[in-house]
Amino acid sequence: MKNKKYTNIHFILLLTLGIALFSSCERDFSDDVEFATFSANGDIFTDAPVGLTDEFFDSFDPNEGANPEGFGTDDNVAFEGSSSIRIDVPAPDDPDGGFIGGIFLDRGAGRDLTGFDALTFYVKGSTTATIGEVGFGTDFGQNKFAVTAQNIRLSTDWRKIIIPIPDPSKLIQERGMFFFSAGTQTTGGFGYTFWIDELRFEKLGTIAQPSPAILNGVDVVQQAFTGSNLLVNGLTQTFNLESGINQTVIAAPSYFDFNSSDNSVAIVNELGQVSVIGTGTANITAQLVGVRASGSLEVTSAGSLALAPTPTRPAANVKSIFSEAYTADTSSNFAPGFGGSTTETVITNNNGDNVLAYTNNNFTGIIFDNTVDASGLTFMHVDVYVQEGGTEVGLQIRDAGANQMIETDVNTGNPIGDDVDLRFDLTGLTVGQWTSFDIPLDGDLTAQRDNLGGLILVGGPNFIFDNIYFYTE
């Protein structure tokens, strides 16, 4: 033990000497070498903001509910030094705004972050809430190299958070130093406080084993048409950290190199936007720093898709779910991800008109975010397009009842509780053209259709929908 204390003293002495010598070395070095003009300082906040704009915190738009008042520094709380960033997360009904979020921008032209491999900081909460999103690269401009980590768990003690940089070599001039967004989703609407300290980019050397993904790592097969525009989304990069934890971040498309296996069928740009330009099949894949991303998009185009017939009914007589012709009565979940569902659902832009393309459907649904009161309406309209003969789709129009909850017997698929439904088979479809259906809201819906909760779609397996709406003549 005594021996070791000696070591300490020696160590400190040596270190001091070492630092003195180092700095003289660096001066010599920079005499000979011209460095990039952008600052390579990784510090963002230590006891005060470092090289940030005078605003320091640039809030999201208060008109969209962001609360710009809950941000400040706290001289009574610090992980290290004397001060920390203090963020007071408001309750959803706070008159100043129901959530808090924004960015920190470099006050200069941007920083050279190529020498770092992670954004790190210490954080502690007044309670064990979860921060929705933190990251960097968001600059309220192009957000070209934005990175987001989700669901940061707070502890009531300080905890170090590590957000890996998907590819540091891209960050030669980055202004977006920090980004966060927090609400009270995990605290039942009760506001809380969290503190951030020692916020900086670091070279940890322990960020390893990259495992990038596109389309969340799923191999998606999709029908498309010449003129279709698709987006490769679900872009992530995952690194193994020193702790053994695999940390996934959402990475902007510009970190990836996209590739199409057949540029005469589909081309993909640096933002992951796919344009289908010819007939045939193309496989869209991507790499990140030379590592092949898991997940791919196989698009098959049989030619061009005609536009569905343009709806002509007056908007006053219509409550729309999915159509360019009308304002939607409610937003909907078009990919509810039912357990056991094999369906891939994509909203495809076909020459300016969005259509709903279903591939490999066994069963899926369109779940209305708010129930639709169709008590004054008498029909449901849908346009259906198929490319294979014999395709039939089972449609179930569900009323969720007064409790507005969709309740289903998981064994039979039948409505239970106060739910009722109407079932209708979309048959007699002609290959290569649109078929329009106007389905009377009769049967069990005759008496109960004031809380329509969604549509269930069975079979197919491949078909395209457009212009889904309820109406009265």
Partner 1 sequence: MNMKYFKINTIQSTVLKCLIIMAVWTISGCSTDETQTVATFTNLVLDENFDTDGAPNSQVWGFDIGTGENGWGNQELQYYTDRPDNVTIQNGILLITARQESFENSQYTSARLLTKDKFEQQYGRFEARIRLPFGQGIWPAFWMLGADIDENPWPGAGEIDIMEYRGQNPTVLIGSVHGPGYSGGEAISKEYTLENDRFDTGFHIFGIEWGPEFVNFYVDDVLYNQITPEDVTGEWVFNKPFYILMNLAVGGTFVGSPNAETEFPQTMLVDYVRVYKNNAD
Q: Which of 82, 142, 246, 427 binds partner 1 (CB under 8 A)?
A: 246
Question: Residue 240 interacts with partner 1 (CB under 8 A)?
Answer: yes
Question: Residue 150 interacts with partner 1 (CB under 8 A)?
Answer: no
Q: Shortest gap between Cβ of 25 and partner 1 (angstroms)?
A: 7
Query: Which range binds partner 1 by CB under 8 A, 132-140, 236-244, 255-263, 358-366?
Result: 236-244
Question: Residue 244 interacts with partner 1 (CB under 8 A)?
Answer: yes
**Nearest to partner 1 of 243, 375 (CB atom):** 243
| Angle at the Cα of 267 from the Cα atoms of 262 and 272, rounded to 5 degrees | 125
Q: Shortest gap between Cβ of 331 and partner 1 (angstroms)?
A: 33
Question: Residue 14 interacts with partner 1 (CB under 8 A)?
Answer: yes
Amino acid at 109: A
CA torsion 473-333-418-383 (nearest 10°) is 30
Helix (H) / strand (E) element for 13: namely helix 2-32
Question: Residue 23 interacts with partner 1 (CB under 8 A)?
Answer: no
Question: Residue 27 interacts with partner 1 (CB under 8 A)?
Answer: no
**Nearest to partner 1 of 10, 153 (CB atom):** 10
448 within 8 A of 352, measured Cβ to Cβ: no
Question: Residue 4 interacts with partner 1 (CB under 8 A)?
Answer: yes
Question: Residue 315 interacts with partner 1 (CB under 8 A)?
Answer: no
Q: Tell me the number of residues near partner 1 by CB under 8 A.
A: 24
Instruction: Report d(CA 455, CA 473) in Å as an integer.
Output: 21
Selection from 219, 260, 214, 256 nearest residue 236 by Cα: 214
Q: Shortest gap between Cβ of 198 and partner 1 (angstroms)?
A: 17
Instruction: Report d(CA 352, CA 334) in Å as an integer.
Output: 19
Q: Shortest gap between Cβ of 151 and partner 1 (angstroms)?
A: 16
3-state SS assignment for residue 181? strand
Question: Residue 72 interacts with partner 1 (CB under 8 A)?
Answer: no
Residues 6+ apart with CB under 8 A from 382: 395, 426, 436, 437, 439, 465, 466, 467, 468
Conformational region of residue 359, where left means phi above 0, alpha means psi within -120 to 50, and beta covers everything else: beta
Question: Residue 11 interacts with partner 1 (CB under 8 A)?
Answer: yes
276 within 8 A of 298, measured Cβ to Cβ: no
Question: Residue 12 interacts with partner 1 (CB under 8 A)?
Answer: no
Q: Shortest gap between Cβ of 300 and partner 1 (angstroms)?
A: 31
Query: Which range binds partner 1 by CB under 8 A, 16-24, 28-36, 172-180, 315-323?
Result: 16-24
DSSP for 21-62 reads HHHHHHHHHHHH-PPPSSB---EEESSSBSSB-TT--EEPPG
Question: Residue 247 interacts with partner 1 (CB under 8 A)?
Answer: no
Instruction: Report d(CA 245, CA 227) in Å as an integer.
Output: 43
Count CA within 13 A, CB hemisphere, residue 156. 4
Question: Residue 25 interacts with partner 1 (CB under 8 A)?
Answer: yes
Query: Which range binds partner 1 by CB under 8 A, 107-115, 135-143, 237-245, 256-264?
Result: 237-245
Instruction: Report d(CA 198, CA 193) in Å as an integer.
Output: 17
- Residues numbered 170 to 229 that lie near partner 1 (CB under 8 A) are 203-206, 208-209, 211
**Nearest to partner 1 of 43, 47 (CB atom):** 43
3-state SS assignment for residue 3? helix
Instruction: Report d(CA 317, CA 37) in Å as an integer.
Output: 63
Q: Shortest gap between Cβ of 243 and partner 1 (angstroms)?
A: 8
Q: Shortest gap between Cβ of 99 and partner 1 (angstroms)?
A: 31
Listed as own residue / partner, the contacts of 335-344 with beta carbons closer than 8 Å and 24 or more positions apart are 335/364, 336/364, 336/365, 336/366, 336/367, 338/363, 338/364, 338/365, 343/457, 344/220, 344/221, 344/222
Question: Residue 352 interacts with partner 1 (CB under 8 A)?
Answer: no
Q: Shortest gap between Cβ of 244 and partner 1 (angstroms)?
A: 4
Q: Which of 21, 48, 109, 431 binds partner 1 (CB under 8 A)?
A: 21
Q: Shortest gap between Cβ of 209 and partner 1 (angstroms)?
A: 6
Q: Shortest gap between Cβ of 252 and partner 1 (angstroms)?
A: 24
Q: For residue 215, report the phi and psi dihedrals to the nearest 5 degrees.
A: 50, 40
Binding site for partner 1 (CB under 8 A): 3-4, 6-8, 10-11, 14-15, 17-18, 21, 25, 203-206, 208-209, 211, 240, 242, 244, 246
